[in-house]
Structure 1
Amino acid sequence: MRYSGLEFIAKGELAFCDLGTPSKLEPTEILLETKYTALTNGTERHAFLSEHGYGGGRFPSRHGYQHIGRVVSTGGEVTQFEPGDWLFYGQYVGHNGWNIINEDALLIKLPVGIDYRYCALFGVAGVALRSVRRMGVSQDDNVWVVGQGPIGHFLAQVARSAGAKITVSDMIDRRLDAAKECGAHIALKANSQKAPEIIKEGRPYDYIYDCCSVESLLSDICDNRLLSHSGTVGLIAVRDQIIYPWSLLHGTEAKIETSCHFDKDDLRVLLFLYEQGYLQIAPMVSHIVTIDEAPQIYKKLADNASDLFGVIFDWTENV
């Protein structure tokens, strides 16, 4: 077990912090030894660089919500888990070598026989799944996902599993290749000359998901009449503020929605989709590295390196 965690000590500066040894468990608590965590690319970059007011510019701070761990011990009244169980833990606590958690927290037990490393990305996949469930994507809906970072990638997969037709766009070939491998019907290079016309040919879209924060997106949707009558614009990416043309929603009787995090039932559905093969994780994983390499990864994150996609930290190395 590692007794350290990751901490943002100043804008753009990462350090390992000492967590000490775990305290005595309360009756309904479990001790979870971290085996893997995963980077939440957008959220952590915003907090790391104080973008969009994220984190309020307060340091030191800890960010992230994707842990895979093994139960070491349990309190005397714990009924849901036992030592040796592998769990996904989705609370916003940062990256820690161990966590003491109430058994009713945001946890799901993982079955034997799956690759636990990839399950570390259940957090960003859970955010995507919740947005699809909340907004009601269904069979034969026409969906455009703008941006193919981790959440946008999984959003496209989950919407496709609901029976929707999926168009995605991004500027990075690696992400578009992963989208196509995972079932996107149309994958467009956003900065290509043909992309705007192809997007218009595919209209109207029942759902347009913003997973990139492009400033002009809402105006572009309105000007090009991309949204269907009573359609939905799902604002998933972080923005400072939202300004939109009145006619975007008025004439179409459309709506803007957003979504936040995920709950236990989302994790239940997510695990089912993953076990059944409706959700793939391996194609979008770009890095599996020891947690000791975290400083290099966060430097890449700050530099907006295009090769970062799905990033998994292995806490089991060199213990």
Structure 2
Amino acid sequence: MRAAVYRGVNDVRVETVPVPAIGPDEVLIRVAACGICGTDLKKIHTGSHSAPRIFGHETAGTIAAVGERVQGFSVGDRVMVFHHIPCGHCYYCRKKTFAQCEVYKKVGCTAGFEPSGGGFAEYVRVMDWIVRRGLVKIPDGVPFEQAAFVEPVNTCFKAVRNLALEPDETVLVIGQGPIGILLASLAAQTGAKVLTSDLFPERHRIAAEFGLRHPIDAGKEDVVAVAHAASEGRGADAVILAVGGNALIKTAMNAARPGGRVLLFAQTQHGDAVIDPADICMEEKSLIGSYSASEEIQDEGAALVFDGYRNGFDLTRLVSHRFSLEDAVAAIELASNPGPDSMKIFIEPNLAQV
């Protein structure tokens, strides 16, 4: 089969590799669509993971083979797959901090080499504990692209749940890429007033398609001042930082009201950041984080995506570019250097090469 193989820092090559063999409790998925996630890009560009590997974890496709002991799934079933699933009984699972579970940290999907998701390939092997608890059937009529959003929507839904938003609150979401729009849309579903900040008017136009009606042009407006003006001078009750890096943490903290919450969603790299301790102590602002998906809300999150396709939450509108597997290197290059007109980028092995 063909696959986009990570060979080292900034080095991804489309190669021919063996189709992964499956065990008696495993399944093989023929990939139909795989979204490119920012975490995939960070691994490719920072060298945080050893090579070779095949990344890609926002995966949907069709079951091509099932192991002899697999129950509940058959060849031909349309599915999406989570690549992380927790053990459910360790200390962290009991405290509902599932992303810190050692089993959760293991990747249960591979297209070969060290398990790393494998969605940037024609076929993916799904391991036993993922088959049991992380393989989700796609309802009829829901396209693969929509289904591939189940995992990223889960991560955003988890983050919004952590904020415990109320209908009388004002929320600021900094960044209106695909993840920022998902976070803002889910926050708006709580009844809260949602402000969205981004440099690109093109992204605000897409956000408006999801009912987000309070854009802030970060290139021309003072985001902090607007957040205060929109909340009777207090500042936002909650601020979600959906942009990577640490440069905007100070902006997020300044935009939050005394007693407000600031949630870091995209800060996945260790490093130094300047935070005013008096913001936390005297002004009683809470700085919290949310990382990865939660099995606890898996069914509810999947229903948001599947039912949403028919009820106005059509996430395929976030897809700006689709690439064949043969053009995966170009897809990764574009995703790494997003412009005003680039949003969610998909690799689709069956897409005709252009």
Q: TM-score range by the shorter chain?
A: 0.7 to 0.9
Q: Distance in 2 between matches of 1:7 and 1:231?
A: 44
Does residue 90 (structure 1) correspond to residue 82 (structure 2)? The answer is: yes
For residue 71 of structure 2, the aligned residue among 79, 96, 100 is 79
Amino acid aligned to 2:281: H
Does residue 45 (structure 1) correspond to residue 16 (structure 2)? The answer is: no
Does residue 110 (structure 1) correspond to residue 134 (structure 2)? The answer is: no
Amino acid aligned to 1:220: T
TM-score relative to the length of structure 1: 0.87
* Contact in 2 for aligned 1:12/1:302 (Cα 8 Å): no
C-alpha distance 317-283 of structure 1, shift in aligned 2 (>3 A):
closer
Could you say what the CA RMSD is over the residues aligned between the two structures, in angstroms?
Answer: 2.3
Does residue 252 (structure 1) correspond to residue 272 (structure 2)? The answer is: no
Q: Distance in 2 between matches of 1:58 and 1:74?
A: 30
Does residue 297 (structure 1) correspond to residue 331 (structure 2)? The answer is: yes
* Contact in 2 for aligned 1:107/1:264 (Cα 8 Å): no
Q: Where does residue 157 of structure 2 map in the other structure?
A: 129
* 1:167-206 alignment, distance < 5 Å: 167-193=195-221, 195-203=223-231, 204-206=235-237
Q: Where does residue 270 of structure 2 map in the other structure?
A: 240
How many residues are treated as equivalent by the alignment? 309
Q: Distance in 1 between matches of 2:265 and 2:178?
A: 12
For residue 10 of structure 1, the aligned residue among 8, 11, 17 is 8
Amino acid aligned to 2:321: H
Amino acid aligned to 2:270: D
Q: Where does residue 284 of structure 1 map in the other structure?
A: 318
- What SS does structure 1 have at the residue aligned with 2:31? strand
Q: Distance in 1 between matches of 2:198 and 2:138?
A: 32
- What SS does structure 2 have at the residue aligned with 1:113? coil
Q: Distance in 2 between matches of 1:192 and 1:105?
A: 47
Amino acid aligned to 1:309: M
Amino acid aligned to 2:284: E
* Contact in 2 for aligned 1:161/1:278 (Cα 8 Å): no
Q: Which sits farther off after the overlay, 56-65 or 160-169?
A: 56-65
Unaligned runs of 5+ residues in structure 2 are 84-115
1:318 is displaced (CA, Å) by 5.5
Amino acid aligned to 1:299: E
* Contact in 2 for aligned 1:146/1:211 (Cα 8 Å): yes
- What SS does structure 2 have at the residue aligned with 1:247? helix
Q: Which sits farther off after the overlay, 194-203 or 80-89?
A: 194-203
* Contact in 2 for aligned 1:87/1:107 (Cα 8 Å): yes
1:191 is displaced (CA, Å) by 0.8
1:60 is displaced (CA, Å) by 3.1
* Contact in 2 for aligned 1:8/1:48 (Cα 8 Å): yes
C-alpha distance 306-57 of structure 1, shift in aligned 2 (>3 A):
farther
Percentage of pairs with the same residue: 19
Q: Distance in 1 between matches of 2:291 and 2:30?
A: 27
C-alpha distance 194-205 of structure 1, shift in aligned 2 (>3 A):
closer
- What SS does structure 1 have at the residue aligned with 2:144? coil
Q: Distance in 2 between matches of 1:294 and 1:24?
A: 25
Amino acid aligned to 2:31: T
Q: Which sits farther off after the overlay, 298-307 or 141-150?
A: 298-307
- What SS does structure 1 have at the residue aligned with 2:143? coil
* Contact in 2 for aligned 1:34/1:315 (Cα 8 Å): yes
Q: Distance in 2 between matches of 1:231 and 1:169?
A: 18
Does residue 120 (structure 1) correspond to residue 144 (structure 2)? The answer is: no
TM-score relative to the length of structure 2: 0.79
Q: Which sits farther off after the overlay, 155-164 or 121-130?
A: 121-130
C-alpha distance 22-14 of structure 1, shift in aligned 2 (>3 A):
closer
What per-residue deviation string (whole Å, max 9, x for no partner) do you get for residues 220-256 of structure 1? Answer: 345x4x3234321110112433331012211232211
What per-residue deviation string (whole Å, max 9, x for no partner) do you get for residues 3-39 of structure 1? Answer: 232222232221124331332531x211211111111
Does residue 100 (structure 1) correspond to residue 125 (structure 2)? The answer is: yes
Amino acid aligned to 1:93: G
- What SS does structure 2 have at the residue aligned with 1:316? coil
Amino acid aligned to 1:176: H
What per-residue deviation string (whole Å, max 9, x for no partner) do you get for residues 66-104 of structure 1? Answer: 111111222233223222211111215142321222222
Unaligned runs of 5+ residues in structure 1 are none
1:190 is displaced (CA, Å) by 0.8
